[in-house]
Amino acid sequence: MCGIALLVSGIRICLSSLNLDSISSSSKSHLVFSVDDLKAALQRRGPDSLGTMKLLLPLHSNSSNSTNYRVSSFNEESHVLDNGSDMPESFAEFVFLGATLQLRGVSPVCQPLMDSSRNVLVYNGEIFGGIEVGIDKNDTESLMQSLGNCCSCRSQEHRTTCDFNGQAKGSIVDVLSVIKGPWAIIYWQESSKTLWFGRDAFGRRSLLVHWPTMEDPRFLLSSVSPTSSRLQDSSFEVENGSSGIKFWEELSCGIYSMSVDVKKSDGSFHSEIKKHEWTNAMLKELIEWERVSIEPKPAELNFSHSRTSSAELDINSSSSVLAQNVLTALRESMLRRISLYNIYQALKETVPVAVLFSGGLDSMIIAALLDQCLDPNYEIDLLNVSFDGESAPDRISAKIGLKELRRVAPLRRWRLVHIDADLSKLTWETKRVLSLINPANTYMDLNIGIALWLAARGEGWICKESNNETDEDKRVNYTSRARILLVGSGADEQCAGYGRHKTKYRHDSWLGLHKEMKLDMQRIWKRNLGRDDRCIADTGKEARFPFLDEDIIRTLLDIPLWEVADLDQPSGKGDKKILREVAHMLGLHNAAILPKRAIQFGSRIARESNRKNFGSNRAANQASAGSVVINVQSYFS
């Protein structure tokens, strides 16, 4: 969609039920964000529309001693109180912001939405299942209708205590628990005077939170960290993104509520934020990430080893059946993400979808499946970033991958977009990405963020139709206009693609490997997805993750671990074994044997960063540069 934000003031909020770490810090007083700051950050994403709605909750006394209060709602844009009285002195304020990048439906939609019951919704996400979205409808409109039919029950025990029990009215938690796809939401339910907010179970959409503190008692939510308008000098602009100041944090995945009441002793607004359990049993199983079979019997392992060592994949083998299951699930995942009836009609004259493309295993599988699912009349942009021209490993593998894609899909018009960058010349771009990755603050986060941001922006060059891809006379400047960017996130975590997986396997065998992969999946929202979503969305594109489809996660968990990966084999063979078999099935025989290479290394931004900030790769490795917190002053000196 694009981005959402909320600013709440005038309410005393209790956070005790969340078991948060201490959040009081005198340094937080240095940062003050306004509604205009939040709007500017969302506007930077290039939305089709950006709206703001203010909701005021005034106090009304029903008796002379002012001890009996009720809460009513007032929308600033209508300038009408629900009882027709003048504006009281004491009120709470909710400011909703919604930026919309229209990707679905026939008619344009502007957020925030308010329905006839005065419920308010801002939504940043896609609905690929769980809630019916008509062929000509928009996700946000469909979700608004479903939420409007929910009961007003605030209780965790909805099914046993709700006044609407037996009247076919579900709870807010029930509705959000069944959504398949990435989402972040802020929703005001007027009937219960309750604010609901949260993000999907895997954190595929960013949502940052500022919990109230002594220095800043406001409650804020935002898809992205803005730059404070009160700190306009260049040093503080950077410090908004990376310093000892921690204003924002990633909101943990889940569904939260904040019910507004009045404390009778002093007539002030107060509220407690609660986190709710998911009510979808299947989703809870995916969150727990428990695999059906973890440790093989000797006979099973010997059989798996013999198959991995064979040159050909027997189409009748059990391995082939498992790989076919994964391929089928991946194809369905792709269809859900790019079906043209789900794409906003106004976009159909352009290239609708691009791929973050290294030419490696994951991006090659995505590209090949995209070809099978996308109308053949459309071109496909393959976005490849390099900090070492044509010599970067990812550039080399991308050009080889392009040839393989042209072999398996000769009728498709493929467009490899060469995005070249020089780290020493990216001063303002780096400052911008520093703000985007916030609250992440390491050199590794920054390197990945810059590479993603440049790739997603899609500004580079392409080769004219020629048999010689290196002919510089054939270069033509080109900018991809695709609004949907397919990204391979989640493949390594689920299929043992990282080097640390092999290390864990060697030390602690299969159970240790399973625990490490489970840890990766349960923290991917914090370590990867929030950062990546913010960097990509800032370029006017929406990231979609085919490998993180709920049905893909379920399919891979149903496969024995030793069939997913065989880490006794060398890199490029046993790691992500099941995906390598899928690649063979797609005819991608060269891609099927490529070793894992992270974007910061394949693009060579890590090498350039190490030289700039540590003097050499060797010194950087000795300092464990990837996990070192960025020294802002020295970085720009």
Segment 241-252, tens digit of pLDDT: 444 568 999 999
Indicate if the pLDDT at residue 72 is higher than 70: no
Least confident stretch, 272-276, 468-472, 531-535: 468-472
366 confidence band (pLDDT: 50, 70, 90): very high
Report the greatest alpha carbon distance in the chain: 88
161 confidence band (pLDDT: 50, 70, 90): very low
Which CA distances in Å does 102 have to 39, 145, 341, 342? 18, 19, 13, 11
Indicate if the pLDDT at residue 8 is higher than 60: yes
- Is the distance from CB of 579 to CB of 361 less than 8 angstroms? yes
Average pLDDT, the chain: 86
User: How many Å apart are CA 577 and CA 582, to the nearest integer?
Assistant: 9
234 confidence band (pLDDT: 50, 70, 90): very low
User: How many Å apart are CA 120 and CA 109, to the nearest integer?
Assistant: 14
Residue partners of 506: CB distance under 8 A and separation at least 6: 567
Segment 12-65, tens digit of pLDDT: 999 988 887 655 444 444 678 899 999 999 999 999 999 999 999 887 644 434
Highest mean pLDDT: which range of 52-56, 212-216, 511-515? 511-515
* Architecture in CATH of 3-19+33-61+89-152+162-231+246-282: 4-Layer Sandwich (3.60)
User: How many Å apart are CA 278 and CA 177, to the nearest integer?
Assistant: 6
* Architecture in CATH of 354-466+473-635: 3-Layer(aba) Sandwich (3.40)
Segment 383-423, tens digit of pLDDT: 999 999 999 999 999 999 999 999 999 999 999 999 999 99
| Strand residues in 190-333 grouped as ranges (E) | 194-199, 208-210, 219-222, 249-250, 254-263, 268-276
User: How many Å apart are CA 119 and CA 100, to the nearest integer?
Assistant: 19
* 200 three-class SS: coil
pLDDT of residue 63: 41
Residue with the two structure tokens 């392409």: 462
Residue with the two structure tokens 């943990």: 252
Residue partners of 507: CB distance under 8 A and separation at least 6: none
Return the bridge partners of 417, or none. Answer: 383
User: How many Å apart are CA 560 and CA 558, to the nearest integer?
Assistant: 7
pLDDT of residue 518: 97
| Strand residues in 264-389 grouped as ranges (E) | 268-276, 353-356, 380-386
Indicate if the pLDDT at residue 337 is higher than 70: yes
DSSP state of 341: G
- Residue 292 burial (CB count, 10 A): 9
pLDDT of residue 71: 53
Query: When comparing pLDDT for 18 and 196, which is higher?
Result: 196
636, 550, 499, 568: which is closest to 287 by C-alpha?
550
pLDDT of residue 231: 46
pLDDT of residue 85: 43
- Is the distance from CB of 469 to CB of 463 less than 8 angstroms? yes
The amino acid sitting at 149 is N
Average pLDDT over residues 602-620: 93
Direct distance between the N- and C-terminal alpha carbons of the chain, in angstroms, rounded to an integer: 38
Segment 128-159, tens digit of pLDDT: 999 998 877 889 999 999 999 999 876 555 45
Least confident stretch, 338-342, 604-608, 615-619, 623-627: 338-342
Residue 503 has, within 13 A of its CA and on its CB side, a CA count of 4
User: How many Å apart are CA 428 and CA 440, to the nearest integer?
Assistant: 18
Write down the H helix ranges in 382-524: 393-408, 427-437, 443-457, 491-495, 499-524
Provide the residue ranges of all domains of the chain, joining segments of one domain with +: 3-19+33-61+89-152+162-231+246-282, 354-466+473-635
pLDDT of residue 558: 97
Helices (H) and strands (E) in the chain, counts: 22, 23
Indicate if the pLDDT at residue 335 is higher than 70: yes
Segment 536-582, tens digit of pLDDT: 999 999 999 999 999 999 999 999 999 999 999 999 999 999 999 99
User: How many Å apart are CA 445 and CA 426, to the nearest integer?
Assistant: 16
349 confidence band (pLDDT: 50, 70, 90): low
